[in-house]
Structure 1
Amino acid sequence: MLRLFNTHEVRKSTELEGIWDFEMEGNDKKYRMMVPGCIEQHPDFLDKRGAGWYTRKINIFNDTNVRLEFKGVSHTADVYFDGEKVVHHYNAFTPFSVVIRDVKAGGHELKVRVDNRFTPESALHVPNDYYTYGGITRPAALEEIGDVYIKNVHFKSIMSENGWKAGIKITLANISGGEQTVKLCGELVPDMIYDNDGNRIDGKKMAIGELERSITIAAGEEYVFETEVSFGDVLPWSSDRPNLYFLKLLLSKDGEPTDDLIDRVGFREVKVSGKDILVNGEKLYMKGFNRHEDYATVGCAIPLQLMVQDMDLMQEMNANAVRTCHYPNDERFLDLCDERGMYVWEENHARGFGLERMQNPNFDGQCRACIDEMIENHYNHPSIVIWGILNECASETKEGREKYATQYAQIRALDKSRPTTSATCRHLTDICLDLPDVVSFNMYSGWYKDVPIDETSNAEIEWIRRSGGENKPIIVSEFGAAAIYGYRDRAHCKWSEERQADIIRDNLEVYMNDDDICGVFVWQFSDCRVTEEEWFATRARCHNNKGVVDEYRRPKLAFDTVKEMYGKYRK
C-alpha cells in the first residue's frame, strides 16, 4: 500500500510488496527478504552496514511503458531493469521514480542495489542520534503508462471573502517519439467530510470546468499549466474537522480513457501574523511530539497498523501536532495525519551538523534534492503547515548562514503557502534567526543542565527578539528527558521514569503559560535506536531514551503527564 487510498482507476498499478531474493555483497549465502523491510530484521544483519541486491521477476502482459516508483530505499539505490541501470537515487527518506519506454510483454528482471554505508559521498546519512537502516524500506510499485501521462498535480487552497478557491498546477509528460493530443478533465469528489457535530456526511462531486481542455504536446516534452478555480462553499480542513476531497484528473484520447491521477486535498490556509500562526484565520497552538520512524522489531519499515497505533497514542495524549524529525516521512503517515487532523511540521534531512560536515562537497546538492523531492511529492497534504530545515546545524557561522539562506530561498521558490522554520540549539550565538518565518529552539532545561526553566526560557526569548526574531512566532521544538522503561526510583534520580515525568511537567508548566510561545513539541514520542558509532557513550542501550513510550510503545510515567498537561492547557 503506497497511500491510504487508490491513486489510479485507469492507470494499471502493481504493488511490489512481497518476498524478494536478496544477496549481501561479500556473502555467498542466498536470502529471501521482505519488501518493504529493513535488512536488520534478519538475524544475519542485525547491525550490518553494506551493499546488497534485491531481485524479483515481474510479468508484463502487454507491450507498454513502465513507470517504477519507490517510496524509500535506504540510503543509496541503483535500480536495474533487465540488467540495464535505469536510475540512481540517494536518500532513504524521499521517493523517486523512473520511466522505461517500450517494454515488451513477457517476463522481466528487476534488481535494486541498496547501500547503507557511511562514506565520504554520503553527506546526510552519517552516524547520528537515530539509526540509518538498510533496504527497500518503504512501498514500491510498477505502473503501466501510455504515451502521455499525468506526472504531477499541485493544489493550493486559497481562502477568500467569496468562499474557497484553489490554484491548480498540472504537469503532463509525452514520452513518445511523436506529437500527441489528449483531452484533460477533472472533478472534486468528497472523501471524508463532517457536519458540525463531527458526524460523517455525504457531499456532492463537482466538475472542474477550468481544467477541461484539449492539449497538444510535442514529442518528448512536458506540458505545464496553472489555473485558479472557485469552489464556493466547500468545507475547510482543520484539526477539529479534517474535511478531505479527492481531486481526480482524467486523460482521454479519441473518447477512450488513457490515464488518470487521484490525490487527496483539503481546503485550509496557513499564515503568519505577528507572533501567531493562523490556520483558516484562527490562532494555532501546536501541542506536539517529535517522532522518529523507528520500531523495535521492524526498524524504519513501519507497517500501517503500527503507524495507526502511534497516532492513536499521540492523540490519546491530546496532541494535535507532530514533527517528522529529522527527515521527510512515509506518505502513508502523512495521509493518516490528513485524516486525523494532525498538524505536521515536515523537515528536510540534516541533523546536528557542525560546519565541517556542512562543507562536505555533496552536502548542498543532496540537501537541494531532498527539499525538491519532499515538496514535489508532499505539497498537497493539508496537514503539513510548516516546512523545516537543518535541525541543530551550524547556524552560528557565516558559512552556515549562507546554506540556511539558500535552503529557505529554495523552499519559498517551490511553495509560498507555508511558513518556514528551523530548530536551533545555538543559544545566544545563532545568526540566522532573521531568515525563517517562525523561530524554533531546542532546550533541555532540567536534563543536561539543572537550570531554572522560566529564567532560561525568558533569556532565550529576549535574545531571539534582539537577534532577528522580533514579532515572529516562537515554538519550543524540543524539550524533555531520558528514562529507561521500567526503571523506577523513589528519589526521582535521572534516568528514572519519575524524573522524566517531573522534568516534562515542569517544562510544560512554563512554556504553555507563556504567551510568547505558540507551540511545544516533546522530545520525543518513542525511544529510538541510534548509531553505535559516535553515540554509544551518551545513549544507554544505544537508544535515544527520551520517548514517553519505549521502542515497543509501552508507556512510561511521562505518558500520563503529557496527557494531563496537553489536556489542561490551550484547549
Structure 2
Amino acid sequence: MCGSGQLAVLLVLLLCALRDVAPLPDSGMLFPRESPSREVKELTGLWDFRADLSPSRDLGFQKAWYKSRLAETGPVIDMPVPASYNDITQDPMLRDFIGWVWYEREVVVPARWVADEGTRVVLRVGSAHYYSVVWVNGVKVTEHNGGHLPFEAEIGDLPQVHMMAADGRAAYEDVYTLPVGIRTVKVTSTQFLINNKPFYFHGVNKHEDSDIRGKGFDWPLIVKDFNLLKWLGANSFRTSHYPYAEEILQMCDRHGIVVIDECPGVGIKDIRSFRNASLAHHLVVMDELVRRDKNHPSVVMWSVANEPASEMPPAGLYFKTLITHTKTLDPTRPVTYVTCSNYARDKGAPYVDVLSVNSYFSWYHDPGHLELIPIQLNTQFENWYGKYQKPIIQSEYGADAVPGLHSDPPVMFTEEYQKLVLQGYHSVFDQKRKEYVIGELIWNFADFMTAQGVVRVVGNKKGIFSRQRQPKAGAFILKERYWRLANETGRLPPWTKYSCLL
C-alpha cells in the first residue's frame, strides 16, 4: 500500500460524550502554520466510523478495536471530518447517540519526517467532544478531557514506525510567524475602554452550527457569516457557549470584530457541579483556553461560564477561585460570566469586572406581554448597577420566530413579534447606554438545532437569520440600529471603506 519513501500510519480516534476521567495537564500549543521549517499535513476528508451501540457502550474497549482495522471489528460507514456525525446519516439512533464512537484513518506521511532524527512529528486534534483517546498503529498516544479546545501528541518515535535514516541531512532554524495586534483594554464603573476610548458592544451571540455538518468547521459558512456580520454593522460577538475554532478568531483579528471568549462552562446548575472535581477541571479548561487565545487582539474579555446557578451557597468561593485563576493567567483582560440569577443573591457577581445579564421579558417571563419590557428591563438594570456599580452588558435577549410565520396583531413565534421584542429592548438600551450599559448582544445570530422538546420548533428559532442564513424581519431592525450606533459613536468598522458591502 505504501510507495517508496512513504510511511503508512493507522490512526484511530475514539470519542465519547459521557465519561468521568481525571483531567490531564496541557501546556498550550501553537496554531499549525507552514514555514520554511514546518510542514502541515491536514487529515480532513473521509474517515471510517463506527458507533459503539452495545448495551454497555464499551464493547470497543473489551474487544480492543484499536488493535486492528476498524472495518475488521464490524460494519463501518464513511464519515466526513470535520463534521458532527449526528445529521450525516438517515439513522435516528445515530442522530441522538451519546456514547463512544470510533474514527479511523490511514495516513501516509513523508519518509523524511521520520528519517530525520531532528524532526518532531506532532499529531494535533483541533477539537473533539468530549472525552477523546487516540491510538497510532495500535499504540495509545494521548487522551483529552473536554471538547472544543485542541490537544496534541508527539508521534515521531512510535513502535512499528521503522525507516532508514538518510545521509546528508540539512539543518534548518525553526521558523514560526505570528500576526500581532496591539491594543489596551480597561474597565471603569460605567465604561469599557479599548485604546482608552469608550467601546459599545453592538453584536450577536453565535453558535458553531449549520445544516448537515453541525459543528463541523466549514470555510464557506465562516466567510458567509462574517459577511452577514458586516452587513449588520455588528462589531462584536460572544463565543456562546464554548471556544470557537482558532481560524474564526484569526478572521476576527483581520476584520476588527471584538470577541468575548467563553469557555464551555454551561449547565452548572446542580450543587454537585460546584465540588472540587468540577472546579479542578474548570481551572484546567481555562488554562487551555487562555493559552490558546491569549495572542488574539480581537479577544477583549474572558467569560468563565454561562447561566450558572450562581445563587447557590458554594458559588461564591467557586467563582472567586475561578476568576482569580483566570486573572493570574492573563492580568490584561477583564473577566465576566453570564448570569440569569437574581441580582441580590448572585454570589459570583462581586468578582467579575463586567456584569453580563441575560433576560427574556415577554418570552420566558410574562409571555405575550410586550408592554412589560420597558418596566422590567429598566428595573433589571437599576437593580444590578445599584448593587454592584459595574458596567452591564445585555448578554442575551430575544424571542423565537419561525421564518415566514406572520401575524397582525403580532403573536409569539411570528417575525412581527420578534421584531417588537427587539424594539422594546432597544428603547431602554438607548436610555441606559448613556449611563452604564456598555453593550447589547442579540440571542441569536442564526437559528440552530437542539434536542427535541416542547419549547423548540425544530431547534431554537431565536436567530435573526434562519439556519440557512436568510434574514428575518428582526435582522433588518438590527441592521438599521447597528449602523446608526456605529455612526453616532464615530467608531465605524474598518470594512466600511468597501462600498460594495454596504
* Cα contact 2:33–2:176 (8 A) shared by 1: no
Q: Deviations over 1:461-500 (max 9, x none)?
A: 2322343x21x22111011111111111122100001100
Per-residue deviation, 1:355: 3.4
Per-residue deviation, 1:4: 10
Counterpart mapping for 1:99-178 below 5 A: 99-103=154-158
Aligned partner of residue 12 in structure 1, secondary structure:
coil
Q: Which residue of 2 aligns with 1:481?
A: 399
Q: Is 2:140 the partner of 1:89?
A: no
Distance 2:150 2:258 in 1: 22
Distance 2:256 2:193 in 1: 15
* Cα contact 1:285–1:570 (8 A) shared by 2: no
Per-residue deviation, 1:351: 1.9
Residue 102 of structure 1 aligns with an amino acid whose one-letter code is: D
Q: Which residue of 2 aligns with 1:402?
A: 317
User: Identity, % of aligned pairs?
Assistant: 30
Q: 1:43 aligns with which of 66, 83, 90?
A: 90
Residue 89 of structure 2 aligns with an amino acid whose one-letter code is: H
* Cα contact 1:433–1:464 (8 A) shared by 2: no
Residue 483 of structure 1 aligns with an amino acid whose one-letter code is: A
Aligned partner of residue 460 in structure 1, secondary structure:
helix
Per-residue deviation, 1:423: 1.3
Q: Which residue of 2 aligns with 1:17?
A: 44
Q: Is 2:117 the partner of 1:33?
A: no
User: Which runs of no fewer than 5 residues in structure 2 stay unpaired?
Assistant: 1-28, 55-73, 164-168, 488-502
Q: Is 2:333 the partner of 1:418?
A: yes
Distance 1:6 1:52 in 2: 29
Q: Is 2:466 the partner of 1:546?
A: no
Distance 1:393 1:435 in 2: 14
Q: Is 2:370 the partner of 1:454?
A: no
Distance 1:361 1:301 in 2: 32
Q: Deviations over 1:47-90 (max 9, x none)?
A: 32232211122234032542111110122210001111111112
For the structure 1 residues 357 and 305, does the alpha-carbon distance in structure 2 shift closer, same or farther, using more than 3 Å as the test? farther
Q: Deviations over 1:190-248 (max 9, x none)?
A: xxxxxxxxxxxxxxxxxxxxxxxxxxxxxxxxxxxxxxxxxxxxxxxxxxxxxxxxxxx
RMSD, aligned CA: 2.4
Counterpart mapping for 1:184-195 below 5 A: none
Q: Which residue of 1 aligns with 2:271?
A: 356
Q: Which residue of 1 aligns with 2:385?
A: 465
Q: Which residue of 2 aligns with 1:558?
A: 474
Per the normalisation by structure 1, the TM-score is 0.69
For the structure 1 residues 490 and 496, does the alpha-carbon distance in structure 2 shift closer, same or farther, using more than 3 Å as the test? same
Distance 1:21 1:455 in 2: 56
Q: Deviations over 1:412-447 (max 9, x none)?
A: 011011111111111333132211111111111222
Per-residue deviation, 1:353: 2.5
Per-residue deviation, 1:362: 4.1
Distance 1:286 1:329 in 2: 19
Residue 40 of structure 2 aligns with an amino acid whose one-letter code is: S
* Cα contact 1:392–1:425 (8 A) shared by 2: yes
Q: Is 2:406 the partner of 1:491?
A: no
Distance 2:257 2:381 in 1: 27
For the structure 1 residues 66 and 255, does the alpha-carbon distance in structure 2 shift closer, same or farther, using more than 3 Å as the test? closer
Distance 1:18 1:59 in 2: 14
Q: Deviations over 1:295-332 (max 9, x none)?
A: 12210003011011111112211110010000111111
Q: 1:519 aligns with which of 439, 444, 449?
A: 439
Per-residue deviation, 1:560: 0.4
Q: Which residue of 2 aligns with 1:537?
A: 454
Q: Is 2:105 the partner of 1:56?
A: yes
Q: Deviations over 1:356-414 (max 9, x none)?
A: 35246642233222211111111111100110011110111220122111110111011
Q: 1:388 aligns with which of 303, 327, 341?
A: 303
Aligned partner of residue 518 in structure 1, secondary structure:
strand
Distance 2:313 2:98 in 1: 35
* Cα contact 1:346–1:387 (8 A) shared by 2: yes
Distance 2:251 2:272 in 1: 34
Per-residue deviation, 1:24: 2.0
Counterpart mapping for 1:300-379 below 5 A: 300-356=215-271, 358-359=273-274, 362-379=277-294
Per-residue deviation, 1:103: 4.5
More strand by proportion, 1 or 2? 1
Per-residue deviation, 1:101: 4.4
Q: Is 2:362 the partner of 1:443?
A: no
Per-residue deviation, 1:287: 0.3
